[in-house]
Amino acid sequence: MDIKVRTNISNEYQNIEICINAPERTEEVQRLENELQAKATKNLKQIVGMQDNDIFLINTSDIIMFFSEDKNNFCKTKDGIYKIKEKLYYLEEVLPIKDFIRISNSAIVNINHVKCFNTSIIGRIVVKFKDGSEENVSKRKTSEIMKFLKERSE
Amino acid sequence: MKLKEMFKGFSLKKMLLTILCTVIVSVFVSATMTFVRDFNTYTAYESVAGLHENHEKFKEVVSQYDQEVIQGYYDNVEQQKEEWEKDIPTRALTEILLKRFESENRVHVYVTSVVMGVALGIVIYVIAIQKANIKQAVIELLIAFAILIAIIILVNHIYMIILGHFTQNAFETIIDFGGAELYYLEDNTLIIVYVVAAVILYVGNLIKQKMLANKLNKELNNK
């Protein structure tokens, strides 16, 4: 289906408003609406995950972390690992900013599932989750994580 | 594939940039140290040269210098003449040996500081920047050490070839210059620098990261 994008700039608008016009509510329209909604509110509540050809609707609050491996993206909950379609840079845009933080090029973590930060034997900072698993923190991201935690505690 | 996995996270560009920084710092530090070390000698000679030639102090210092220092050089020259078994004018040989001592000193300081800079750059990159795991770090440091030794040998040989080329141009003959120095940095010194730098960096980095982790934990628990 062809999608036309039209932008109207006028003083009469108080806020940015996105309106979808379609002949019927198709799957694509629904997906577009969800994506725009999530992007606008930064509050993605559910995500579709795949495991052994089965599809699951997962609450983002249950997700421990999102990560990429071998050009594929996954999310991890206490029940297992699910393959997802969304890219990490997109998830960064739509996930609740108070709960999720990118800790490296390949991982976004849910801070509510973090137990503590620690150092590995080679002097790298690692994040320890409540389920006992660990993930490396990129050196470049430590200042952003610190800022995120400070803002969160305010 | 295995080789790729072995050097996972290794970036030649980043390592060369680190080496460039450490070499600049190392050359600056060694030049400053040499200046500070020789500062007293410089000022002593400058102040003597600044005295009026008829001044009593000037005569006293010059005669003392003549007796102690020059005599010392002459003794060395005589010893060298005996070694070479050649009848060379003493004053000329003194001049040559003094100039050679000067150039030797400069080349040695320069080569040492560059080699130290490269060695430190590699250690800093592997341990603090790349943060390779222990096995990977050991392999990378050993390979780098072998390459470094090879480079030193190569540089020394290139220097000898250049020296030979100049000798040939100046005297139109190939002269046996077996007395010319090879500017090797002693292997022991290099190993000590390598190990000490690696241990200091490892411990320092561990403490720094531990402190950072504690700060993050403090903020995490500060809900």
> What percent of chain A shows pLDDT beyond 70?
99
The pLDDT profile of chain B, 223 residues, written as one tens digit per residue, is 466 666 677 788 888 998 999 889 988 888 888 888 888 887 877 777 776 667 777 777 777 776 666 677 777 777 777 776 667 777 777 777 778 777 777 877 887 888 888 888 888 888 877 777 777 788 888 888 888 888 877 877 787 777 777 766 766 655 555 444 455 555 566 677 777 888 888 888 888 888 999 999 988 887 6
pTM exceeds 0.90: no
- Chain-chain contact of A119 with B206 (C-beta, under 8 angstroms): yes
In-domain check, residue A97: yes
Question: pLDDT tens digit string along B172-218?
Answer: 655 555 444 455 555 566 677 777 888 888 888 888 888 999 999 98
Do residues A99 and A87 lie in contact, with contact meaning Cβ atoms separated by under 8 Å?
no
Nearest to A133 by CA among A99, A100, A109: A109
In-domain check, residue A45: yes
- Chain-chain contact of B213 with A149 (C-beta, under 8 angstroms): no
Cβ pairs A/B, distance under 8 A? 49
- Chain-chain contact of B137 with A149 (C-beta, under 8 angstroms): no
Contact of A140 with chain B, judged by CB distance below 8 Å, is answered with no
In-domain check, residue A18: no
Show the domain range for A90: 27-153
Do residues A90 and B99 lie in contact, with contact meaning Cβ atoms separated by under 8 Å?
no
* Chain A residues touching B131 at Cβ < 8 A: 122-124, 139
- Chain-chain contact of A119 with B209 (C-beta, under 8 angstroms): yes
What pLDDT is attached to residue A103? 93
How far is the C-alpha of A133 from the C-alpha of A120, rounded, in Å? 13
Contact of A143 with chain B, judged by CB distance below 8 Å, is answered with no
In-domain check, residue A100: yes
Contact of B70 with chain A, judged by CB distance below 8 Å, is answered with no
Nearest to A126 by CA among B199, B136, B217: B217
Determine the distance in angstroms separating the CA of A124 from the nearest CA of chain B, rounded to an integer.
7
pLDDT higher than threshold 90 for residue A35: no
In-domain check, residue A4: no
In-domain check, residue A6: no
Give me the residues of B, 119-148, that contact A with CB < 8 A: 127-128, 131-134, 137
In-domain check, residue A124: yes
Do residues B57 and B73 lie in contact, with contact meaning Cβ atoms separated by under 8 Å?
no
Question: pLDDT tens digit string along A84-129?
Answer: 988 998 888 888 888 899 999 899 999 999 999 998 877 788 999 9
DSSP letter string, A49-95 = EEETTEEEEEEGGGEEEEEEETTEEEEEETTEEEEESS-HHHHHHHS
Question: pLDDT tens digit string along A59-93?
Answer: 989 999 999 988 899 999 998 999 998 899 888 88
Q: How many CB atoms lie within 10 A of CB A26?
A: 11
**Which of A124, A145, A146 is opposite residue B131, by nearest beta carbon?**
A124
Give me the residues of A, 19-58, that contact B with CB < 8 A: none
Location of structure tokens 């997109």: A90
* Chain A residues touching B137 at Cβ < 8 A: 122
- Chain-chain contact of B217 with A125 (C-beta, under 8 angstroms): no
Determine the distance in angstroms separating the CA of B156 from the nearest CA of chain A, rounded to an integer.
36
Looking at per-residue pLDDT, the higher value among B129 and A29 belongs to A29
How far is the C-alpha of B198 from the C-alpha of B207, rounded, in Å? 14
Amino acid at site B37: R
- Chain-chain contact of B206 with A139 (C-beta, under 8 angstroms): no
Give the torsion sign (CA, B92, B97, B103, B107): positive
Chain A interface mutation, best of B1, B123, B219, highest count of A Cβ atoms under 10 Å: B219
How far is the C-alpha of B81 from the C-alpha of B96, rounded, in Å? 12
**Which of A123, A124, A149 is opposite residue B216, by nearest beta carbon?**
A149
Contact of B206 with chain A, judged by CB distance below 8 Å, is answered with yes
Q: What is the CATH number of the domain that holds A99?
A: 2.40.50.1020
* Chain A residues touching B215 at Cβ < 8 A: 146
Nearest to B208 by CA among A127, A33, A123, A8: A123
What pLDDT is attached to residue A81? 93
Whether ipTM exceeds 0.90:
no
pLDDT higher than threshold 70 for residue A54: yes
In-domain check, residue A103: yes
Residue of A nearest to B138 (CA): A122
What total number of domains does chain A contain? Answer: 1
What pLDDT is attached to residue B185? 55
